[in-house]
Amino acid sequence: MVYVLAVLFPPAAIMVVGEPKKALLNLVLWLFFIIPAIIHAFFVIDDSREEEYLKKHEENLT
């Protein structure tokens, strides 16, 4: 669902995953360049989910 929001309004999708500083950067991108803003949002969302996964499973990795 967050990926749908990333296509419609990328800065909001980045705020949902908890990255306010990156959301400001994305807002500037979105105002001037829509497609790069969407791509940036996808990268930030994916990175955030990967960090969340690693935190959840870090005891199994050691």
- The pLDDT tens digits of the residues spanning 3-37 come to 999 999 999 999 999 999 999 999 999 999 999 99
Q: Place 52 in a pLDDT band, splitting at 50, 70 and 90.
A: confident
**Which long-range contacts link 8-16 to residues 24+ away (Cβ below 8 Å)?**
10/37, 10/38, 10/40, 10/41, 11/37, 11/41, 13/41, 13/45, 14/41, 14/44, 14/45
Q: Are 2 and 45 within 8 A, CB to CB?
A: yes
